[in-house]
């Protein structure tokens, strides 16, 4: 069958695999698969892959998503979350050892549920729950509508009141709840922190939890100080003594029950994640905080960006003998499986190759580990790692992929300043000849581009463009010094690296140096704004969900900037501190811009407020520079290009294609 070029509409056909969970016996992998229904809505359902037979089947049905599936310790049941009844999120149990339908376990009020974790004795399930304020429930909304009453205000007493993709929750907070698996009775167990990013793991005797959360009364305005707490089943809690200040999260209790491993860092000024996330081990009673990953220059929570689901992130799995811990290793655009020796800190990278191989849970005997697998020409599928090798079990996008003419990137390294080299990739259209060149800049900035399937890149290449993407300084995957290179100095060596890649494009024999464009989202939008204010090399630009002005951005993001830390300045008070924020703001240099620019932004973006894009459009329009502003509705968020409604994602891609057609 002849292949066809990638089209914008193909994004709606891509199925997304996530949250893979190995069964305790190692025979099956449970996972979520998200796909568009006939109403332009992406629905997730639980699926089961047979490790030995290589076959998969769908476990849940219906118009409501079912997700966060977790095996019971014996493997006889699966707990999951769904809003299948009255659109109210509840926990359900699905029997696996005998045929049967899922039954509702909880009867929670309207709210948000996540983070299911079975107790080792199977008697309890711990989870996070945040009730919806009484004035904002579906029932209250219907009553107001019937009585002709106005929408009430959101009443706020703390700076933590919104989160991109979650919305405005005001004073409502998550707490850790427990549900009795036998009776279905659910009650709040623990919830004292104003910043409710609780992560937790069960003690091995099921007597309680180890919980990580901030120890500060006002976490958003203090330096990071997460601590670990032992929380008993009666709600009594005590902080583990002797642990340093800094970030801590994702606690995992060792198989013997005597130790707890966790990710974190003791540095408190690098609050944006430019330093490596490290692996620590401490006794469950507290005391020594021992870093076992310092000998390796890896960040253990690095993400690899894509528009069909980011790859990587964190993984922490104790091997059954308690002597080592499996982790994710993100390096040079790849993701591999690594293993740290707990006693010595020695690390082994267990896999190799051009892929994103994100490890997840282990079988009870440690012989099999569930993974997701992706590469340049394949979105995430389910796999298993066993005996030093991995195999892919599913092929959910094969029908679509068989239709498409897909391009495999070429790897290059570009010389930059300070004797640094920039890792980059080039995708050349099959048409050949002199083509326009498009430079893509990733978000973060402390993430990486890599070996994942990227629909947008394939689409732009199918349109006859040469697509170049790179990992400039500030990116993960090249060591801590490389990533920290832009600390308190955005628009410095990162711009050196972007500029070096641009110059490489100008001298490439297949790229027309008079038709080079630049684009990016989030930090990529920031760097696009910076580039057009510092260079005339670009024929056109596209800035998406951008940052343009740190002085205003400091107070209108869901994560407001803290005083004098990462950026070395602040947005009010000392004029010199304000100048420092202004110096790192692209909008400060827009009197030098001449580049036609498309601005894309979501009104519902709570990470980079839409006013950041509005300022860019205003400056361009007032100077008579060709510009177009596409504003997506408040129902979308910062991550619209990855997880928004398919019709709007397609609209965005067509806007991008048309802009490049017009100017390149």
Element (H, E) at 378: strand 378-386
Collapsing DSSP states into helix, strand and coil, what is residue 242? coil
Q: How confident is the model at residue 312 (pLDDT cuts 50, 70, 90)?
A: low
pLDDT of residue 310: 65
pLDDT at 87 over 80: no
State the average pLDDT over residues 298-322. 89
Q: Is 619 exposed, middle or buried (0-12, 13-18, 19+ CB in 10 A)?
A: buried
Q: Which two tokens stand for residue 17?
A: 């695999």
Lowest mean pLDDT among 43-57, 158-172, 260-274, 552-566: 552-566
pLDDT of residue 627: 98
Q: Which two tokens stand for residue 503?
A: 């110059």
Q: How many residues does the chain have?
A: 664
Distance CA 546, CA 543 (A): 6
Distance CA 619, CA 283 (A): 56
pLDDT of residue 206: 98
CB 523 within 8 A of CB 445: yes
Q: Which two tokens stand for residue 117?
A: 């974790």
pLDDT of residue 611: 98
Distance CA 476, CA 482 (A): 8
Q: Which two tokens stand for residue 445?
A: 């900035």
Q: How confident is the model at residue 314 (pLDDT cuts 50, 70, 90)?
A: confident
64 DSSP assignment: S
Q: Which two tokens stand for residue 163?
A: 């989160």
What's the angle, vertex CA 248, arms to CA 243 and CA 254, rounded to 5? 80
State the average pLDDT over residues 135-162. 94
What's the angle, vertex CA 135, arms to CA 130 and CA 137, rounded to 5? 60
- The answer to whether the peptide bond before residue 484 is cis (omega within 30 degrees of 0) is no
pLDDT of residue 88: 87
Tally of CA atoms within 13 A in the half-sphere of 305 that contains its CB: 25
pLDDT at 107 over 70: yes
Query: pTM of whole model > 0.85?
Result: yes
Tally of CA atoms within 13 A in the half-sphere of 118 that contains its CB: 22
CB 548 within 8 A of CB 522: no
pLDDT at 383 over 70: yes
What's the gap between Cα 192 and its chain centre? 26
In percent, the amount of the chain with pLDDT more than 70 equals 99
Q: Which residues have C-beta within 8 Å of that of residue 575, sequence separation ≥ 6?
A: none
Question: What phi and psi values does residue 208 have, to the nearest 5 degrees?
Answer: 170, -165
Provide the b/e sequence for 490-517 (b: ≥16 CB within 10 Å).
Answer: bbbbbbbbbbbbbebbeebeebbeebbb
pLDDT of residue 653: 98
Q: How confident is the model at residue 360 (pLDDT cuts 50, 70, 90)?
A: confident
Q: Which residues have C-beta within 8 Å of that of residue 433, sequence separation ≥ 6?
A: 510
CB 266 within 8 A of CB 257: no
- In angstroms, the Cα distances linking 338 to 90, 254, 326, 360, 610 are 36, 18, 6, 12, 40
Distance CA 515, CA 231 (A): 61
Q: How confident is the model at residue 224 (pLDDT cuts 50, 70, 90)?
A: very high
State the average pLDDT over residues 525-551. 98
Pick one of 3.40.50.1820, 3.20.20.70, 3.40.50.2000, 3.40.190.10 as the CATH number of 407-549+585-663.
3.40.50.1820
What's the gap between Cα 403 and its chain centre? 29
Residue with tokens 């992706």: 374
State the average pLDDT over residues 194-203. 94
pLDDT of residue 98: 82
Quote the radius of gyration of the chain (alpha carbons, Å): 25
- The mean of the pLDDT values for the chain is 96
Residue with tokens 């082994």: 348
């Amino acid at each position: 069958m002849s292949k066809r070029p990638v089209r914008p509409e193909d994004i709606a056909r891509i199925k997304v695999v996530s949250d893979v969970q190995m069964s305790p016996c190692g025979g099956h992998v449970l996972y979520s698969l998200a796909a568009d229904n006939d109403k332009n809505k992406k629905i997730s359902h639980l699926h089961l892959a047979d490790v030995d037979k290589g076959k998969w089947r769908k476990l849940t049905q219906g118009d409501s998503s079912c997700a966060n599936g977790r095996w019971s310790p014996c493997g006889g049941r699966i707990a999951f979350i769904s809003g299948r009844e009255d659109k109210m999120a509840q926990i359900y149990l699905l029997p696996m050892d005998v045929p049967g339908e899922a039954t509702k376990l909880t009867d929670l009020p309207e709210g948000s549920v996540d983070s299911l974790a079975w107790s080792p004795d199977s008697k309890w399930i711990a989870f996070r729950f945040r009730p919806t304020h009484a004035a904002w429930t579906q029932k209250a909304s219907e009553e107001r509508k019937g009585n002709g009453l106005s929408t009430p205000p959101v009443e706020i007493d703390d700076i933590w009141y919104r989160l991109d993709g979650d919305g405005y929750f005001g004073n409502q907070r998550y707490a850790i709840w427990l549900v009795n698996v036998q009776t279905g009775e659910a009650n709040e167990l623990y919830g004292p922190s104003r910043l409710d990013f609780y992560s937790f793991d069960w003690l091995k005797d099921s007597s309680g939890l180890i919980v990580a959360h901030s120890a500060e009364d006002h976490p958003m305005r203090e330096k990071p100080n997460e601590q670990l707490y032992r929380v008993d089943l009666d709600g009594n809690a005590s902080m583990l003594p002797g642990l340093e200040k800094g970030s801590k999260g994702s606690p995992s209790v060792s198989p013997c029950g005597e130790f707890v491993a966790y990710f974190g860092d003791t540095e408190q000024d690098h609050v944006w994640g430019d330093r490596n996330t490290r692996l620590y081990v401490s006794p469950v009673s507290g005391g020594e905080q021992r870093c076992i990953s310092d000998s390796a220059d890896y960040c253990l929570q690095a993400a690899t960006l894509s528009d069909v689901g980011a790859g990587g992130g964190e993984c922490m799995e104790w091997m059954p003998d308690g002597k080592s811990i499996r982790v994710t290793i993100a390096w040079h655009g790849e993701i591999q499986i690594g293993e740290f020796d707990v006693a010595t800190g020695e690390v082994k990278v267990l896999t190799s190759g051009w892929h994103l191989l994100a490890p997840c849970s282990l079988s009870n005997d440690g012989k099999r580990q569930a993974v997701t697998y992706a590469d340049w020409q394949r979105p995430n599928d389910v796999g298993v790692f066993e005996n030093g090798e991995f195999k892919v079990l599913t092929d959910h996008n094969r029908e679509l992929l068989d239709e498409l003419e897909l391009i495999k990137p070429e790897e290059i390294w570009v010389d930059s300043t300070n004797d640094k080299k920039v890792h980059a990739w080039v995708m050349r259209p099959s048409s050949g000849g002199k083509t326009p060149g498009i430079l893509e800049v990733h978000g973060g900035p402390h993430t990486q581009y890599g070996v994942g399937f990227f629909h947008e890149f394939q689409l732009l290449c199918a349109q006859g463009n040469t697509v170049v993407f790179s990992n400039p300084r500030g990116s993960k995957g090249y060591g801590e010094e490389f990533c920290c290179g832009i600390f308190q100095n955005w628009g410095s060596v990162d711009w050196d690296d972007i500029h070096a890649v641009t110059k490489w494009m100008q001298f490439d024999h297949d790229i027309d140096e008079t038709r080079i464009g630049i684009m990016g989202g989030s930090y990529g939008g920031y760097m696009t704004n910076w580039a057009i204010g510092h260079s005339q090399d670009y024929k056109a630009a596209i800035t998406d969900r951008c940052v343009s002005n740190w002085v205003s951005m400091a107070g209108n993001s869901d994560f407001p900037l803290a005083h004098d830390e990462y950026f070395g300045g602040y947005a009010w008070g000392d004029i010199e501190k304000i100048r420092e924020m202004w110096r790192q703001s692209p909008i400060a240099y827009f009197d030098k811009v001449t580049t036609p620019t498309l601005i894309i932004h979501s009104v519902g973006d709570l990470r980079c407020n839409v006013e950041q894009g509005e300022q860019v459009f205003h400056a361009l329009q007032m100077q008579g520079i060709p510009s177009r502003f596409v504003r997506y509705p408040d129902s979308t968020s910062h991550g619209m290009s990855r997880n928004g409604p398919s019709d709007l994602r397609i609209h965005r891609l067509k806007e991008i294609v048309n802009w490049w057609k017009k100017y390149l």
